[in-house]
Structure formats: C-alpha cells, structure tokens
Amino acid sequence: MAQLGEVFVCKLCGNEVTVTKAGGNPSIHCCGQEMTKKSK
C-alpha cells in the first residue's frame, strides 16, 4: 500500500503522483500499467 508523501511516476508518460491520503488501494495505475515509486 502507498504511504503518505510517497511519489510515483509513470514509465510511459512521466506523470507523477504524490500520495496525500493513504488508502486501501494497493497500487496506482497510469497508461494501463502500475506506476513505480520514484527514488529520491
């Protein structure tokens, strides 16, 4: 599950998402595939 403050990026389009509210969804998707956690 994504944690508050984590940033995820789409490998296809470069879209970035910052988690502002942790919830029950175990993964974040964009362009039809799972986004990856951005390394600091």
Q: What is the pTM of this model?
A: 0.82
User: Reduced to 3 DSSP states, what percent helix, strand and coil does the chain have, rounded to the nearest 5?
Assistant: 0, 30, 70
Residue 6 binned pLDDT confidence (cut-offs 50, 70, 90): very high
DSSP secondary structure code for residue 38 in this structure = P
pLDDT recorded at residue 15: 97
Residue 13 binned pLDDT confidence (cut-offs 50, 70, 90): very high
Query: Interior CA angle at 7 toward 17 and 39, to 5°?
Result: 140
Place of tokens 């984590």: 6
